[in-house]
Structure 1
Amino acid sequence: MIFVYYSLLLFLLSRSVPSVALYSVSSSEPLFPNQTLVSSSLNFELGFFSPNGSNNRYVGMWYKNFIPSKVVWVANRDRPLPFKDQLVSLTIGSDGNLRLLDGARNVVWSTNVSMKSKGSTAALLDTGNLVLRDGDSGNIIWESFDYPTDTLLPGMKTGINVKTGEKQYLVSWKTDIDPSPGNFSLGMTPEVPPQPFIWNGPDPHWRGGQWDKSKFIGIADMDMTYLNGYNVQQDIQQGTTYFSFSVSNNISFDYLFISSEGYCELVDWDDEVGEWHHGWKAPRDRCEIYGTCGPFGICNASALPICRCLDGFTPKSQEEWELGNWMGGCHRIKELQCGRDPNSAASIALGGIQNDYFLKLSQMKLPDVSTYVPFLDAGDCQDWCLNNCSCLAYSYIDTIGCMVWFDELMDIQSFNISGEDLFLRLAFDERENGTGNDQNNIGSSTKIIISLTTISAIIALGAGIYFRYRWRANKKVKIRKEEKEDLLSDLPMIDFKSILVATSNFSIRNKLGQGGFGPVYKGMLQDGKEVAVKRLSSSSGQGMEEFKNETILISKLQHRNLVKLIGCCIEGEEKILVYEYLPNKSLDTILFDPRRKGKLTWEKRFDIIQGVAKGLLYLHRDSWLRVIHRDLKASNILLDEKMNPKISDFGLARNFQTTQDLVNTRRVVGTLGYMSPEYAMGGMFSEKSDVYSFGVLMLEIISGKRNTSFCYLGRTLNLLSYAWQLWEEGRGVEILDEAISVNSIASRPEVVKCIWIGLLCIQDQATDRPNMPSIVLMLSGESDLPDPKPPTLTSFQSPMDHEIRDQQEGTLSINTMTRTVIDGR
């Protein structure tokens, strides 16, 4: 449909080729149909157009010199002009307003600025903002950025002012060839925390989830890898909530728009390829349509059927549910105990009142219509909900706080990637133990004795807990002080104020990305050195042990293929690491981006493979610490200005004197898809665990595809399985990334060798895998290669098989961010 839209736009532009370009509009120089208004750098163009050669004429703005182009703003979408009227004009009126006049000099559209201005002019900025300037002061008195149509450009905002009632929503075109307002709108809600919505008329159509100060948690794949320019500004006192986004290079060739069919899509221009790249889009499946599973229903796009009731609930209509109509939702099976009269017959029959309990649901898109309860920590949040009988569920997120739900839980989704914890209130599971009738025969004096004994026990227990809490709190303070002093003695320290200055108070404009342990910001120290500042979040799971581990390890390791630590900061709850800044970011941002991966020629990819191999060789054998990284993956390989690779993120690394020995750990950490079988399943790791991860990384670099999200001909298999299948069939070289395959025919023997080595590295048995010294020799061509053994993960499954297995066994998170995922045996 978008292609049709662009084709029609090309047709309309070909019908009205402008003959004159203006750089401003004034009372003495109006804009006529044979002219266009252009921005200074010729990024944008404004003029008259007629969609699909219709009989209607509009004033609109589009990208200039882009084929196909895109109309991003329309002035008179409510009041089109007749195409046959050739005397229309866009000019400045006597009151200083920009006006669209028909042939009879009637005002069809106006900026409607109340203050009068003499000599005002209108101009088009390179950001795509049409501005009206006061003739005397030169100040902007009106701008199109305040009046979006269906498209949001970088620097624009969409949102709401509840005090004035003003809504700056994106409103779709009626059809792809009719700019008049359509049925769908996109905007922000004013609640705390705010949420993005698409509405179909007055009805919700899609919801992006709560804003956690860096992303919307209801969008499972919201890009947190690098250069996240999304921003929400909310002023409760002023009643305003606005969303905007920015781009890293300050070139406004990106846009977000709402289509006539109700899809929100993020699009950007790829200058190298010369075409628009259509990226994120929502809704993408039925689970993302608002309320698909109804109240207390939960949707999982990977399951069959996609809807089920929450635990403790059953369908309101089993007949409708079986027909695939889930909108009616579910209702509770057992009544909650909270709020009941303990002396009622029903309560006595059940043996007295039992406290409700909370069931933890993980990796959830949280329900709609939450209530924010300020100034509560996680424990207080649960207590608050437990003591409020109307509270049906709660969730605590460090970057948001305590959220509770009182009404029907709507629009819940189960994610395979990311998601939050939702705690659902359920009735105590009553067991018929026959004690209910005996309770009635207990004498009143006995009840008093039991009550007093219980109260005394509770007081004693409370006192014990209190004193133990005080003792542990004092002990933690002492331990933290000792750990900090230990770090201070060995590491270069940077004070927190200097870091605030370097990062402009952790400005969103300086944000480079979000890793598993917290956000990363670009900064500049007082000496002019550019740095990357990793600020560990309290919710990251990386405590003082991991922080200390990373700082000490990386400060004592020096190699050209390892990232360099500049310093660190420990002040209060702040734990910050300051690294050298690498301008080409992480490998995954280029390797897995269809628009940018072509920059990685085979020669560069081979250099990256060799560089990572040499870095691992140093860690395993040449450094005096002998380190196992345990989280080697594309997002932890950073690239300098010459595309030289540097291994980063040593928070999970371990150092041993004999790295070849298998070591058992009860805490398995890392990223699924990169972990060796013996580590993921049994908690056993060694240097061969890193070799396995290196093999996965090699195959990703060769193919340009992620192991964890690879799909071939609709079959659910990973990249390793596909690589082995091609190898077995003698077609191993076909795995090579199409973006570079044409240019690397002469290097095919080298490509085959790298695939061969990659398959050797991912063998199931750690003893079968080569070590890093052998791998470096293999890459240099100084060693013969043995035949690889097939990996276990080569069985092919249909998507249905995979979905059924997910239902029966549960789905592990596949995430590019590091998390603790499993306990070893």
Structure 2
Amino acid sequence: MIDRLLSDMAGSGRWRWLAVVMLVVVSVSEPAFSDPQTNQVDKGCSQTNVTNAAADYAKELNASFSDLRRQLSRSNKSFATTSTAIATAHPIYALAQCRNYLSNPDCVACFDAAVSVARNCSLATGARVTLDGCFLRYDSALFYAQITDNGSHPICGKGSAGKQDVFNTTAKQLLKDLVFATPKIGFFAAAKRVSAGGATAAYAVTQCIETLDENSCLAYLSIAYINIQTCLPISSVGRAVGIGCFMRYSDKHFFAINYQTTEPAYSIMWPGNIISSPGSSGKKKSSLAGVVGGVGIIFALAAIFLFYSQSKKPKAARRGDILGTENYRYKDLKAATKAFSEENKLGKGGFGDVYKGTLMNGDVVAVKKLAMIYSRAKVDFNTEVRLITNVRHRNLIRLLGCSANGEELLLVYEYMANASLERYIYGDKRGMLNWKQRVDIIFGTARGLSYLHDICIIHRDIKSSNILLDDDFHPKIADFGLARLLSENQSHVSTKFAGTLGYTAPEYAIHGHLSEKVDIYSFGIVILEIISGRRSSDIRVEPVTEYLLEQALKLYENEEYLELVDKTLEANEYKVEEMKRMLEIAMVCTQSPPVLGQAWRKW
């Protein structure tokens, strides 16, 4: 009953008349002072430790930290996630978030400090670290959209304000306004409020992790607001921390002077009255008591939503949730790509072209324009948005947003400087990848694919052109237009063929039998391409006509597998046993019966 009520309120617009309509936040790219705010606020370590394959786990944890740092450093953003499914019982999901008022160098410095604290948890399967300037969490379970009040508590500072009663009223009202404003304006809000007569001022910030939806953010902040009430009457400084949010107030400013909100220009609308802010031109038309009573009802509803959601949360990782993407304006993306000019064209996909774009803030992105002449364009668009917004892994391409309201259907991805793997295997960059880089690409692709299968997503079009390489040649699986989501109790589905011939498992191409083994077969073909430097569809005529897979199988059976190795590789670059091992993996992935392909997951 409660979830229906909340759903109706959110869907019908009734929620809107309860919400803060506007709070203007003015931000700048570089604050006026440098302070990473590394004061430790809270820390927690999981009670479960990794005992098996501890060295592998430590290596993967370090890689996760490195990937988060790389994202924060390169994208000039304050939020990052990564995940990896290693061959143990303890995959790693990690998230980092900075306060928006920090400069990029300060954000990275705060993150580094948080990592140092998290390392004190040793080989725990999870940790949470909250510093004044940032938040870091990792866990063995998918928690990005988790709804729980576990770990929520206040942290009160020492000392009181000069006029504590006046300050208390001012700070309380400011925090209340920010609770409602934050979910509306995008996960973060900061503001200053001067008391009537100018006797004192309060500064406050509120922030939710960016993987939450609007209602969940409001629920978390409502709990934080209730918790922080214990600090307000006695302290001029207070914080409330939780899994999903952070709240802080003070009688002294702790963000740069040029990162100020305007006097909160809010209008909280109730049936029959409007309460205007002190900074607005209107006068108060009802008593503060009436407002507090009404706000109390909303906090109660938010708390009920939080606890009710917790009682319904799944025991396993969520599958197929949509966490949301940024909506870009068509005209902005058109300008960013120079009107989708040929000089900005990066490549051509199955149902559209991809262009390099430079946004107004300087961020470089890849924009995929779906060709509307194909009947599948809308289907592919919906598929990618629905599935990829929920997957966060360092070996999967990150969907940043989309545009569906303009003249075209556009998808916006993180930009991969080195384009696709096929360029380096048999394209214009052939011969530039050494053996170590090739092995790393095989491992990275395997991790990304394993993660997809763990959350029941079948890609259906794994091939070299759909594996992109970043600045450091780390692979990221791309192009999810053909992907399918299986339910947890499904081992396969029967469907029409869709994919690329030469990479497709026979049981799927002939009978339409779709399971994760389809991707495993395609992965085996990609390994052969990486080893040989040849396309899967290339035919070797002499001494007999053979496709790549046929030749590889024959050479392997005759123990002449080195004959398959790309001639651009130097013999001293690789060990014969390692090359043989890679070929064995490819053979297991591609041989019938398809169940043999499961052996790759043990690798």
Q: Which structure is higher in strand share?
A: 1
| Greater RCO (CA < 8 Å, at least 6 residues apart) | 2
**Which of the five TM-score ranges fits, normalised by the shorter chain?**
0.3 to 0.5
Which TM-score applies when normalising by structure 2? 0.45
Which TM-score applies when normalising by structure 1? 0.33
